[in-house]
Every structure is written in C-alpha cells, then in structure tokens.
Amino acid sequence: MNDPAATEPRFVLHPEHHLTSSAMLQDVVIGLSDGLTVPFALAAGLSGAVVSSGLVITAGLAEIVAGSIAMGLGGYLAGRTEVEHYQAEGARERREVREVPDVERAEVDELLAEMGLSADTRARAVAELTADPEQWVKFMMKYELGLEEPDPRQAPKSAATISLSYAAGGLIPLSAYFFTATPAQGLGWSAAITLVCLLVFGFFKSRMTGQPAVAGAIKMAVVGALAAAAAFGIARAVSR
Amino acid sequence: MNDPAATEPRFVLHPEHHLTSSAMLQDVVIGLSDGLTVPFALAAGLSGAVVSSGLVITAGLAEIVAGSIAMGLGGYLAGRTEVEHYQAEGARERREVREVPDVERAEVDELLAEMGLSADTRARAVAELTADPEQWVKFMMKYELGLEEPDPRQAPKSAATISLSYAAGGLIPLSAYFFTATPAQGLGWSAAITLVCLLVFGFFKSRMTGQPAVAGAIKMAVVGALAAAAAFGIARAVSR
C-alpha cells in the first residue's frame, strides 16, 4: 500500500518508449511491495492471537483476495478516469484556443517567460507555437497542464499486473502456515522467508530506480518487520 | 490500495501552490480509499468463516495497523527517495552542463524542436536558456526529466496523513462488529455503513477531480462490494 506517485520519480516528459517499457515492471513493484508486507503482517498478527493455523490461512487468503481486487479494480478505474480526464482537458483547451485565443496566447507567453526567454524571443516563439491549433493544444496540454496522453490499453494491463503481483507477494508469507502445525511455527518460517524476500526485492527495486541498493533492501525489510510487529502487538492485546 | 499515480492526474508542471494546496487532500483520498475497502472486505470475508465477532475485530485491527504502517512508512521512505533522486539528478545535470555543454545545448534544442519552434527561433532561445547555468539546469530538470523539486517536509506529512486516513477509514466498517452480537449481524451493519460511506466518499472524490460524481460514487461502492464478496467467498470455501 505504498504511494507509487511518490515511489516512482515522475519521468512525465520522457520519451514514450521509456514510460511503456518500465510500466509493467513498476506495476509488479507496486503489487509486490504491498503483497509482501500487508498479508505477512496480518498473518503474523493473528499468529499471536489464535490457536489454529487454519484461521490464519482463512484470514490471510481473505485479505489477499480483498487487497488484490481493491488494488486491481481500483487501479483499473483510476486508469480509465485518467483517460477521460485527458480527453476532457483536451476538449477544453481546444475550445479555449478557438474561443479565447488571446487569453491562451498570453498563457503560452507566460510559460515561455517562466522558462527564461526574453520578450523578443517569446514574441517569435508564441507566433510559431500558435500557428497550428492542434500543435498549440498539444503544447498547452503538455507544458501548462503537465498531461501526457495516457494509453487506453494501459489500464486493464496495469490492473491485472498489480493484482497478480499482490496475490503472488501475499502467498509467499502465507505459504509457511500451510506446511507447519501451529501458528507459532508458521510465524517463524513466514518471517524468515518473507524477510529474505523483502531484502532481495528491496535490493532490486532500488537498483531499478538507481538508488543505493543495500540501504533499499534494509528499508524494505524494516517496513515489513515493523508492520508485522505492530500487528502482532495489537492482535495479542485485543485478544486477551 | 489504489494506484494514486493513476488516480490523480499528473499536474506536474502546474504552479507550486496548486500542488501543495491539494497534496493533503490527495493523501486523505489515498488513505481513505484503501482504508474503507480492504478492512471492510477482510471483516466481511471472516464473517462468513468464523463464529466469534472477537476474531473478526482482532483480525480487522491487525490489518488496519499493518496496512497503515505499510502505507505510511512506505510512503515516507518513497518521499525521501524522491527527494534524494531529485538531488542526484540535479547534481548530474549540473555536471553535464559544466563538462559537456555542447551535448546539453543540443538537448535543449531538441526539446524546443519538439515543441514546434523553427531553427531560427530555437537558436535564439537556446542562447538565452543556457546563458545562466542555474536556469539551464532548472530547465533540463523540468522539461527534459519532467521533475519538479519535491518539498522535503512533504514526506513525513504525507506519511502521517495517509496512515491516519487509512486507520480512520478502516475503523468505520469494523466499528459495526463492536456493537453487534454475531459476525452475521456485524456484517449487515458493516456493509450498510460502509457502502453509504463509499458512495459519499466516491461522490466527493470525483467532484474534487472534476469527474462525473454519481458515476464515481457508484464505482467506488462497486469496488468495495466486489472485494468484500470475493473475500467472503474465499474465506467460506477455505474454512469448510
């Protein structure tokens, strides 16, 4: 349940191929980060409160299903909203360019002034940028609103990738409870397996985004461990 | 557990005051969307599998604690990473501007060509934009890399807001189990309260982002209902 808007630096203006090639990997990362942490912590929490591994597994599977649907479907609808938003903003800019061209021309001039261009150069640039209405609208969308045209096929792909990654991530910590007799044994194995996975995953995630990899691995494991410890504490306190 | 990168249209190039004024509201939305859905669905799932409301409450609280720590701490670390990433990219651009100014000048020219400026105007604009190294670096950061300078104080604030919103959202569906005798009764009240909250929340969330509000309200409620129904189904199947 990280905030991917903050997780992934926003390479909004990079060439399209850069965005699409890493989009799937980013979705896997989003799904795995949450999938490895939350079901692990929930199962750990319940291990301190119930006597049956079956209950831990039931709750864990319910969480995995709930989480992966909420993430996947939520992501899908959000992607659709992004496409609609882009189209609505595009229509608005197109109308403004047609109906209040002077206002829009002043906005182009203001953007160019912010970049640091002189009044002289701006006058020439504004004339060129506003010569073709389609190009003008594209300029406003990208540089005034900071909006890139979203790929409509991206939303369902993203949703499926995030959903499956969350489920895959969640089944790793939960699997330990399948093969052990008591919740306490399950917790031991679950914690060992999951912390190793969090370290490996944090390492490669940081490598991918160009951050210090060892520090990234440790941070990821610490988040998981803290979430699990807190869940354990509250479940035990409540169940007494 | 939505993907806020997709949820919130990316107004990356908007003036700073726009970004900061809505940043807190966005964090509340991120926390509430997940908090209202996942703990609700988990509790609903367990209601079909266990006989004691106490167990539903224990698991629900463990999930809320695990989820809000994973979201909050994860978001905090992600925010820190964004700040470090911006500084690292800034240092790299500064070095490139100093060491390979011709390459960087060509990149500025290419960006201006993409905007649609003529060779003539570009020559003047490139000269002006690269006159001051600091302004040049700022231009590259913003228009080549699409990076806005992140506010270092934003990460801890964001983390706390998301965390608390998740917990607040999660306590709403769970509260029904405090005041009812059996999980089945709890589920009835929980579903009623939560669906109303999801409708109201979806309505205002859509209004906020300028989307059709009634459709947004219904979508939000459908995601919650589907997640809860799926969790109920799997928990019941496993526990038999």
Sketch the domain layout of chain A as residue ranges: 24-239
Q: In this complex, which of A147, A223, A238 lies closest to B9 when CB atoms are compared? A: A147
Tens digit of each residue's pLDDT (9 = 90 or more) over A122-178? 999 999 989 888 888 988 888 888 888 888 888 889 899 999 999 999 999 999 999
Question: Is A121 an interface residue toward B (CB < 8 Å)?
Answer: yes
Question: Rounded distance, CA B43 to CA A79, Å?
Answer: 28
Please tell me the distance from the alpha carbon of residue A72 to that of residue B164, in angstroms, as a whole number. Answer: 23
Residues in A closer than 8 angstroms to B223, CB to CB, are 69-70, 73-74, 77
Residue A197: CB partners within 8 Å, gap ≥ 6? A36, A172
Which of 19-78 (B) contact A at CB < 8 A? Answer: 27, 30, 33-34, 37-38, 41-42, 45-46, 49-50, 54-55, 57-59, 61-63, 65-67, 69-71, 73-75, 77-78
Contact B62 A74 (CB under 8 A): no
Cβ contact (<8 Å) for B45 and A65? yes
Tell me whether B166 touches chain A (CB under 8 Å): yes
Question: B219: which chain A residues are within 8 Å (Cβ-Cβ)?
Answer: 77
pLDDT for res B235? 92
Q: State the average pLDDT for chain B.
A: 86
> pLDDT-derived band of residue B223, with 50, 70 and 90 as boundaries?
very high
In this predicted structure, the answer to whether residue B16 has a pLDDT above a threshold of 50 is: no
Contact B211 A85 (CB under 8 A): yes
Whole-angstrom Cα distance, residue B69 to residue B160?
Answer: 10
Range from A71-80, B61-70, B103-112 carrying the lowest mean pLDDT? A71-80
Query: What is the 3-class SS of A121-132, one letter each residue?
Result: HHHHHHHHHCCC
Query: Would you tell me which residues 96-115 of chain A have a C-beta closer than 8 angstroms to some C-beta of chain B?
Result: 115
Q: Which of A187-201, B2-16, B206-220 has the lowest mean pLDDT?
A: B2-16
**CB pair distance less than 8 Å for A10 and B10:** yes
- Tokens standing for B7? 């949820």
pLDDT tens track for A84-119: 888 888 999 999 989 999 999 999 999 899 888 889
Contact A68, A38 (CB under 8 A): no
Q: Which of A6-20, A67-81, B172-186 has the lowest mean pLDDT?
A: A6-20
pLDDT at B78: 81
| pLDDT, position B227 | 93
DSSP of B48-61 = TT-S-HHHHHHHHH
DSSP string, B180-217: -SSHHHHHHHHHHHHHHHHHHHHHHHHHHTTS-HHHHH
DSSP B149: P
CB nearest to A227's CB, from B42, B69, B77: B69
Cβ-based neighbours of A164, under 8 Å, separated by 6 or more: A31, A68
Whether residues B143 and A13 touch (CB distance < 8 A) is answered with yes
Q: Residue B6: what pLDDT?
A: 39
- Class of residue A188 by CB neighbours under 10 A (exposed 0-12, middle 13-18, buried 19+): middle
pLDDT of B146 reads 81
Beta carbon pairs, A and B, within 8 Å = 310
- Comparing alpha-carbon positions, the chain A residue that sits nearest to B72 is A2
End-to-end CA distance of chain B: 29
Å between B146 CA and nearest CA of chain A: 5
CB distance B58–A155 less than 8 Å? no
Which chain B residue is nearest to residue A34, measuring alpha carbons?
A: B70
Could you tell me which of B43, B61, B41, B65 has the C-alpha nearest to residue B52? B43
pLDDT at B2: 42
Measured distance CA(A146)–CA(A20) in Å, rounded: 18
Question: Which one is predicted more confidently, B182 or A18?
Answer: B182
Side-chain-side CA neighbours of A133 within 13 Å: the count stands at: 12
Write down the pLDDT at residue A221.
94
B42-90 residue pLDDT tens? 999 999 898 889 999 999 999 999 999 998 888 888 888 888 888 888 9
Predicted confidence (pLDDT) per residue in A2-27, tens digit: 444 433 333 333 333 344 447 788 88
E strand or H helix that includes residue A166: helix A154-178
From B173's Cα to the closest Cα of chain A, the distance in A is 14
Residue B110 has pLDDT above 80, yes or no: yes
Distance (Å) from the C-alpha of residue B206 to the closest C-alpha of chain A?
9
